A = this chain, B = another copy of it.
Amino acid sequence: MSGPRILIVGGVAAGMSAALRAKRHNPDADVVVFERGEIISYGACGLPYVLGGEVRAWDDLLARTPPQVRAEGVSVRLRHTVTDVDADAGRITVRDADGGSRTEPYDSLLLATGVAALRPPWMADGLGGLHVLRDVPDGRAIDASLRGARRVAIVGAGYIGLELAEAFRRRDLSVVMVEMAPRVAGRMLDAAMCGVVQAELERNGVDVRTGVAVEGVTQRDGSVTGLRTEAGDVRADAVVVAVGVRPETALARAAGAGLGDTGAVAVDDHQRTSADGVWAAGDNCEVRHRVTGRPAHVPLGLAANRMGRVAGVSMAGGDARFPGIVGTGIFKTFSLGVGRTGLTQTEAEQHGLDAVTADVTAGDHAGYYPDTKPLEIRLTGERGTRRLLGAQIAALNHESAKRIDVVAALLHAGATVDDLADADLAYAPPFAGVFDALLVAAGRLQRALD
């Protein structure tokens, strides 16, 4: 093998995408993946669905096994932790499963180290029944804690907390959700949309406590027995903390690669860091937000996989570019689907944009069609330029929230509110009203922008 030596740290989304793309692009390359854990290439977004029982087994989340990856010519070293990078010398230090340490030279290095769950200061290690959810071992540990439990507390009302609330109710557990902010889903949505989410949680028996800061846990015999909050104690047999994530940047810093203002690794559109020969891809990286034109840290699965592909091709000598994101996200909690893309009104104002928002409630199918459910749409545009800035959709037929993609695609293309209002969207009674709810929202926003 006379090709370049490409080392990859991290074998989940971005890392594995990069490895396979690099090998396909340059079959002579020596591609080695170092994964700290025991499994590679799994769908981390599916963890709540195994806990809720919709997905039968943890192994169902595996996209590829090490033998499958090796069959494509990529070397995989499990339980190998990369502890240091010497970018000047072009080598990394690796500790293997037995604790032995050695160095490995590289021509190109990819840091696909992802994110770690944020742990509040009061979160003690080693306490039974106290969890975060980032990987399969976390999921297995939560699952074990839930056996015999009656009541679970979820700290944090973001994507993971909201998905877990449904999962735990499916297991017939009582669920208390404690959120420090005044509203659930408040980091993803404008305040006007958050009430729909809270109503869906409460309709499904979740005890939602917003505006409540957690101060610590109560415990007995090495296991958590609940939360201490500023509003009193909350008894719980298990606690899952889902208050956000932070990029894993220790190796990037060791390599001398610059971080951006967001705290994530700064990369160009080929996924190159500022350190020679060092690349980064995935949730540990910043991405360019096409609506603001500025770097952002939005750790989500599609961008991570796409960055991995770009890095893999680029490291193998090809030319691929990451196209940026427009801030699309979607989640389901109980029957409710919620999607967002671009900027919320609040975010647009934070970026100094002259934003105008229209709110519409409309049926997701023809009014007379059975099972037509309301869609709440919030559409935001820019005064003057009339360009689309963003949208938020909440849908009681959860699938209907996927209509956010129409706005996401138009944002990517830099379209105006008028482009959306005039679009020839599909109509038949089982799919939409004659004027799709998005068209109704766009029409209303047009008038607000006139």
Contacts and interface: CB of A to CB of B under 8 A. Distances in A.
Most buried by B among A303, A406, A420: A406
B327 A429 contact: no
A45 B329 CA distance: 33
B49 A425 contact: no
Contacts of A413: 410, 413, 415, 419
14 contacts: A61-B368, A302-B435, A323-B422, A331-B428, A332-B428, A397-B399, A398-B430, A402-B426, A402-B431, A405-B425, A406-B409, A409-B419, A411-B424, A413-B419
B369 A424 contact: no
Interface string A259-292: 0000000000000000000000000000000100
A257 to B, nearest CB: 25
Interface string A354-389: 000000000000101110000000000000000000
A403 B405 CA distance: 8
Contact of A404 (B332, B339, B426): B426
A54 interface: yes
B402 A369 contact: no
A409 B412 contact: no
Interface SS of chain A: mixed
**Chain A interface size range:** 35 or more
Interface of A: 13, 43, 45-46, 49, 54-55, 60-61, 159, 163, 290, 300-303, 305, 323-332, 337, 339, 341, 366, 368-370, 397-406, 408-413, 415, 419-420, 422-432, 434-436, 438
Nearest to A421: B323
A255 to B, nearest CB: 28
A408 B429 contact: no
A329 B13 CA distance: 36
A273 to B, nearest CB: 22
Given A327-B424, A422-B323, A431 B46 contact: no
Contacts of A301: 427, 434
Nearest to A330: B426
A159 B403 CA distance: 23
A334 to B, nearest CB: 11
Chain copies in the assembled complex: 2
A415 B438 CA distance: 19
A412 B324 CA distance: 22
A328 B425 CA distance: 6
Given A369-B55, A409-B409, A410-B410, A302 B424 contact: yes
Contacts of A323: 422
Contacts of A405: 403, 405-406, 423, 425-426, 436, 438
A409 B423 contact: yes
Contact of A366 (B43, B399, B402, B435): B43
Given A410-B410, A431-B402, A328 B424 contact: yes
Contact of A368 (B55, B305, B369, B431): B55
A366 B426 CA distance: 24
A57 to B, nearest CB: 9
A16 to B, nearest CB: 12
B337 A45 contact: no
Given A328-B424, A424-B326, A425-B409, A431 B61 contact: no
A402 B427 CA distance: 9
Nearest to A422: B323
Contacts of A430: 49, 332, 337, 398-399
Nearest to A425: B405
Contacts of A300: 427
Contacts of A332: 428, 430-431
A305 B435 contact: yes
A440 to B, nearest CB: 12
A220 B332 CA distance: 58
Given A405-B405, A405-B423, A413-B413, 10 more contacts: A60-B368, A305-B435, A328-B427, A332-B431, A341-B424, A397-B399, A403-B405, A405-B406, A405-B425, A409-B415
